[in-house]
Each structure stands twice: as C-alpha cells, then as structure tokens.
Amino acid sequence: MIGAALVLVLPPLLRSDPHRGAERLQIDAELYRQRLAELEADRADGILSESASAQARREMEDEALETLARTPRPTDGAAAPLSAIVVALAVPTLAFGLYLQLGTPVALKPQPRQAAPLQEQLPHSLEEMVARLETRLKGNPEDAEGWAMLGRSYAVMDQLEAARGAFEEAMRRKGDDVDVVADYAEVLAGLNNGDLRGRPAHLLETALARAPENPKVLWLASMAAYQDDNLVQALDRLRRLRGTGELDPELSKAVNDLIADAESRLGAATPSDVVAGTAPAARIEVQVLLDASLAAQAEPTDTVFILARPSEGSRMPLSIVRRQVQELPVTVILDDSQSMSPSMRLSQFRQVVVAARVSKSGSALPVTGDLEGVSEPIAVGQTSRVVITVNRVLP
C-alpha cells in the first residue's frame, strides 16, 4: 500500500514541464479574447451603452493584469527533486512507526488455527435463529415444541401469516397445550385487527376449561368477552386473573383499571333480592314490538338487545338475547341459559325488569340515540309473559 501511494505521489514531483506556464498563459488569453468579443457584441446590439461597455472593458483589463501577475512563468515548471526525496523517505517511516505503536505486529506471525468463540458460533440475529429452526423442523417435523417456538418467533417478527402456519402445525401435534392454544388464538386475532371473537374466542374457552387459572388465557378470554360486550363475563375473568397474583406491575394496573371501569358501568353491588336456588327453571316469554313512530329511525340491520335485569340495585343483565330490527316483531325466551355469570342468574331473583333496546352502534351498553322499551317490574315464576314496545329515544 505504501508503494502504491508513492507511485501516485512521486511522478508529479519529479516531472519537469517547461511548457506548463506557457499553456496557462495561452488559455487565459483565449478566455480574455472571448469575453471581449461578447462585450463588443452586446454593445453593437444595444444591450450595453457606450459608457457601460467602456466600464466593463476596463474591469476586464484590470482582471487580466491580475491574472497575468499570478500565472507562473515558463521557467517555473522545473521539477522538485528535494520534495520528492523527502516524501519518499517520510511516508514509509511514518507508516511503519505508527503501525508499531497502534497496530498488532504479533499478528504477522503464523498462529495455530483455533475454534471460533462460542458467541461467534451463535446466531447473530432473530432471522438467523428462525432459519436454523426451520431447517431443524424439516428434519424433525413432529417436534411440537419446535413448531410452537417458530410460531412465537414469527409473531415477534410480525409475520403473522407465517406464525399461523407454524402454530397450526403445533396444534396438530399438541392441541391440548393451553399455552399453544392461547398463542394461536392471539395470532388469529392479530390477523383480524385484534378481534378475538369467533374462532379465537372458541379456542380460548376450550383452554380456559382446561386451565382456569392460566394468566394468559384469562387475560385473552376477558378481552374476548369485552369485545363481545359481555362485560359481566369479562369482569368475572378479570377478577380471577387478579387473584392469581402472577401479574407484573404494568399488567396489574391495566387489570385493575378494567375492573374499576366494568364495575362502574355495570354496577358490582349484590342485589338485596337475590334468593339462591329459587325457581331454577324460571323463564320469561318476551314479545318485542317497534312503535310505528320510530320505525324510520331504525335500520333493518340495527341490533336489538332483549334482556332481563334486577328491578332494584344492579342493572347488570341476568339474561340477554340479541336480534335485529328486521326480525321485529319477535318473541324470545329469557332463562338461565342466557346468563352471563353463574352468580347472576334469572332464577335467583324474585322481581326483574325486561327491556328491549335498538342499538345503532351494536354496543350492549346504552348510548344516546338508542331506542328503548321497558316493562314494569314483573315477578319471576315458572313461566312469565310480557310484551315490550320500543317507544322512546334515549337522551
């Protein structure tokens, strides 16, 4: 490298060029003549006045004299052998001196070949690790844990389609593993903009039956209930999740906030008229009508919630059925099969209020603009009948 540098640097210092100064003078003179010709042309065309042309000519002459004074004479092109000698000696000396101080001279000696350190043998990135795992699974496709690990790795890399494929392979081989089921449900929800309803919720219910205290399953299942507007079920699962005592501070805060929100929206107080074991086969037959004066304010696909709730205390639904406006008038049966919590069943109450609400937003929670009809308090018996007319707009 030093030799290459000297080959580039020394020749110009050793080369003698007596014509270099003369060539520079010729170029400057030619440029001067061209500018002078342009100036005369502008004066002849009337672009410049006589006075302006004379002033410009004087400036050009002054500039030409200054340039001539700075231009080397033909004799200035002599070689510079002293500079060449200094450079030829200084560059190698300086380079070797610096190398001895800052370099690694011992590396010039042959060294026995050693195995690479362990950290150099490990994957340098998640992508490399995933590639190695894929290769291993090709040779051992029955490795359920390997497929699950691959799925989780893809999920971290936000490659959800690939993650779904990997988890499906894991599910085929180990579908009873609740952690695999929960991770698979989470990936399916991610592919559907975070919506846990449908297939993910079904998977989570299965996992929850097998591991009712699994923190991740409880968390995802509670979120699925929230998305389905089943706040009672969500509240029950969040409380169970908090009771596991296995939450980090951030998740613990999120769970507490959600519990407080659900309690404030639904009411968490136990009603005074709960009578355990009363009329276990209690059912209410409800006919729902839509007042003609409000028909224009409801779309055929708007959701209709038909529910029974305690006549006093909590407004938490005890039984709820969902229909659409286009099905009205409709008759439904409310009983314990539509209960959202084992501790809040229709058969446990003596008196309830039945309501029917047309939701423009599809939310189970009342909002301004919804249409509603509510019954008077009715006694819960073996069979009760009530007719509800949706006849008012919520303020």
- The per-residue DSSP string of 370-388 comes to -EEEEPPPEE--SSEEEEE
Within a domain: residue 95? no
**CB-CB contact of 253 with 352 (8 Å):** no
Tens digit of each residue's pLDDT (9 = 90 or more) over 8-44: 666 665 554 444 455 555 666 666 677 777 777 777 7
131 and 246 part of one domain: yes
- Per the DSSP assignment, residues forming a β-bridge with 112 are none
Residues 327-355: pLDDT tens digits?
898 888 888 777 766 667 787 788 889 99
Is residue 356 assigned to a domain?
A: yes
Structure tokens at 130: 């995933």
Domain ranges, residue 72 = 17-78
Kindly state whether residues 258 and 149 are assigned to the same domain.
Answer: yes
Residue 342 in any domain: the answer is yes
d(CA 147, CA 149) in angstroms, rounded, equals 5
Residues 242 and 362 in one domain: no
Domain count, the chain: 3
Identify whether 34 is part of a domain: yes
Nearest by Cα to 389 from 303, 284, 295, 297? 295
Considering the domain architecture, whether residues 196 and 165 belong to the same structural domain is answered as yes
Quote the pLDDT of residue 168.
92
**Whether pLDDT at 100 is above 70:** no
Q: Given this model, what pLDDT does residue 21 score?
A: 52
Q: Answer yes or no: do 318 and 386 share one domain.
A: yes
Same domain, 343 and 213: no
Q: Tell me, yes or no, whether 258 and 287 share the same domain.
A: no
Domain co-membership, 234 together with 314: no
- Whether residue 210 is found in the same domain as residue 236: yes
Q: What is the DSSP string of 353-373?
A: EEEEEEESS--SS--TT-EEE
Check whether residue 313 and residue 373 sit in a common domain: yes
Looking at the fold, whether 374 and 307 belong to one and the same domain comes out as yes
Would you place residue 83 in the very low, low, confident or very high pLDDT band (cuts 50, 70, 90)? Answer: low
Residue 368 lies in a domain: yes
CATH code of residue 209: 1.25.40.10
* Same domain for 257 and 336: no
Which of 200, 231, 266 corresponds to the end of one domain?
Answer: 266
Could you tell me if residue 227 is inside a domain?
A: yes
pTM for the whole structure: 0.41
Coil/strand/helix, residue 307: strand
**Would 119 be classed as within a structural domain?**
no
